[in-house]
Amino acid sequence: MSTMRSKVIRVWEVLDAKETAHSAYERVLARPTSLEVAKNTICLLLWLETIADVHILEDVSAMEVGGITLSRLVMEADALHNYLFHGQEALPEPLVGGIPAIKELCSSGRLVDFRFFKFHRDLVAHGLAVIRDTIAEVIFSDHLHTMLRQFEDEVHSLAPVMTSVPAPELTAPFVAIARTPPEDSRTAFVAFWEGHPLSTQDIINYFERLLGFRRCIKRVETEQPCAGQTPKHAVIVFLSAELREQVMFNETVVYYRINGYDMWVQVYKPPL
């Protein structure tokens, strides 16, 4: 009996799929920017593309090199990246006023703000680490991108001398040595209307009793905001990815109305 085998992904396929990310990386470097800051910025924006329904990196690759927008974005992204991994008690100066450039780029103020990253800090850090340990190595390789462009030029030349064959580095299998924790594939982000948070029990009762999904939720965690604020963010971890899909009616984003208040829920799709 034959068995199904998963498709082998080649390095050149990752290069091709992430060409826009490399273009954005080159644009950030052209500011000029140090290699580490540029990598931090692109890794964060790559992760954001997994939760924002916009082509963030495409916008960045078209930004004016000497423009204020790109400069502000790089400062915010690098400071946020460092906060997520090293989080000092005192916020870095670029984050004191929030992350307006990142919010504008994502067009998702409902979900993406500094409080989102503060609350989901561990989850975001996991995702960034996976990106840095896997596809980032390919995205940031000028050598690999140069080889791919040369091969594409040969293929598209009018009079090729011989059949072009990509370099072994390009046809090598892409092996991801790191993965996002399995629980992240059962996770959904939650955002409340400002001033109208819902309790953990409200959320569980709504899905498991009112909607009739029975026991489908492993846990709900709600933001503990600063004095004078009400919770704006929460996270739901379902018992399985399949149950999450059922509860979300196979949609990526769903608005639910609970006790007269709206709750915005979006599935999390880990990078790998």
Is the domain 182-267 a CATH 3.30.70.330 member? yes
Q: What is the pLDDT of residue 164?
A: 67
Per domain, the residue ranges of the chain are 11-132, 182-267
pLDDT at 95: 80
**pLDDT tens digit sequence for 69-121:** 999 999 999 999 999 998 765 566 668 778 999 988 887 557 888 999 999 99
Q: What is the pTM of this model?
A: 0.88
With a cut of 70, list the residues of the chain below it in pLDDT.
1-6, 52-53, 88-94, 108-109, 158-164
- H, E, C per residue of the chain: CCCCCCCCCEHHHHHHHCHHHHHHHHHHHCCCCCHHHHHHHHHHHHHHHCCCCCCHHHHHHCCCCCCHHHHHHHHHHHHHHHHHHHCCCCCCHHHHCCCHHHHHHHCCCCCCCHHHHHHCHHHHHHHHHHHHHCHHHHHCCHHHHHHHHHHHHHHHCCCCCCCCCCCHHHHCECCCCCCCCHHHHHEEEEEECCCCCCCHHHHHHHHHHHCCCCCCEEEEEECCCCCCCCCCEEEEEECCHHHHHHHCCCCCEEEEEECCEEEEEEECCCCC
